[in-house]
Amino acid sequence: MVKAFIFDMDGTLFQTNLILEPALAATFDILRVKGLWQGDTPIEKYRKIMGVPLPVVWETLCPMHSLEIREESNMLFHVKLIEQIRNHNGALYPYAEQTLAALVQDYPLYIASNGQVEYLQAIVETYHLERFIKGVYSIQSIASGHKSDLVKQVIEENNIQYGAVVGDRASDIQAAQDNQLLSIGVRFDFAQDKELEKAEIVIDDLTELLKIQLDEKVY
């Protein structure tokens, strides 16, 4: 029986909060130069919505802008996020490498993320996660845009019979439940207790994963 751990990336393995604000500031610097923004970067407004999907970010920060300008802003933002990653301004969560190194001895490990392909690739390459991760899956490959369908793709392509989804948001917990996998919530930066209520296990430290045995299905 193939049993695996499927990880979310942002807010689970990677401390995305470290690069979001610098990337946002750099993006708005460009928007100001192009005459598309006046005034200060809306950092405070952004802090209140950190962790929401990027389309919602730009609808909130730039409500008076056209969809075309929001999409351009989002592309700029991704470029700046990747620059931050490549410059090592982000970081993995404490004990992430040690935990992955231990888990990979017994289980194949995968990433299923709402992040875009180039963004995920930058994190994997910068922090050498290919040492541990067998496959990286982006929501870009799923027409529905649902995390549950992305996890299903991971399961089907790798003949996984059972496993766990590890993540910090409600969509991760739901993806585990929809695919009859163990749901493990991490109480890190973006995590909200209400979203983690349905998780079968909640951890505060990645090393707690080493105590979990994927012995049987939990429904």
**Is residue 218, in this structure, part of any structural domain at all?**
no
Domain end residue (candidates: 86, 103, 137): 86
- The per-residue pLDDT for range 113-158, each reduced to its tens digit, is 988 899 999 999 999 999 999 999 999 898 888 999 999 999 999 9
Q: Name the average pLDDT for the chain.
A: 92
CA–CA gap between residue 184 and residue 173 (Å, rounded): 7
pLDDT of residue 108: 97
CB 211 within 8 A of CB 194: no
Domain end residue (candidates: 40, 58, 86): 86
Q: How many domains does the chain have?
A: 2
Same domain, 165 and 81: no
CATH label of the domain that carries residue 119: 3.40.50.1000
Same domain, 105 and 191: yes
**Is residue 217, in this structure, part of any structural domain at all?**
no
Same domain, 109 and 206: yes
* Range in 12-16, 24-28, 181-185, 215-219 with the lowest mean pLDDT: 215-219
Residue 52 domain boundaries:
17-86
Q: Copy the structure tokens of residue 3.
A: 């049993």
pLDDT of residue 218: 42
For the segment 64-86, the average pLDDT, to the nearest whole number, is 93
pLDDT of residue 46: 85
CA–CA gap between residue 107 and residue 90 (Å, rounded): 27
Q: Copy the structure tokens of residue 176.
A: 């585990």
Helix 67-86 to helix 54-61 angle (10° resolution) is: 120
**Is residue 30, in this structure, part of any structural domain at all?**
yes
Same domain, 26 and 66: yes
pLDDT of residue 219: 39
Q: How confident is the model at residue 1 (pLDDT cuts 50, 70, 90)?
A: confident
**Is residue 216, in this structure, part of any structural domain at all?**
no
**Burial of 56 per CB tally in 10 Å (0-12, 13-18, 19+):** exposed
Domain end residue (candidates: 71, 86, 101): 86
Global pTM? Answer: 0.91
Same domain, 10 and 24: no
Same domain, 73 and 60: yes
Contacts of residue 96, Cβ cutoff 8 Å, sequence gap at least 6: 13, 206
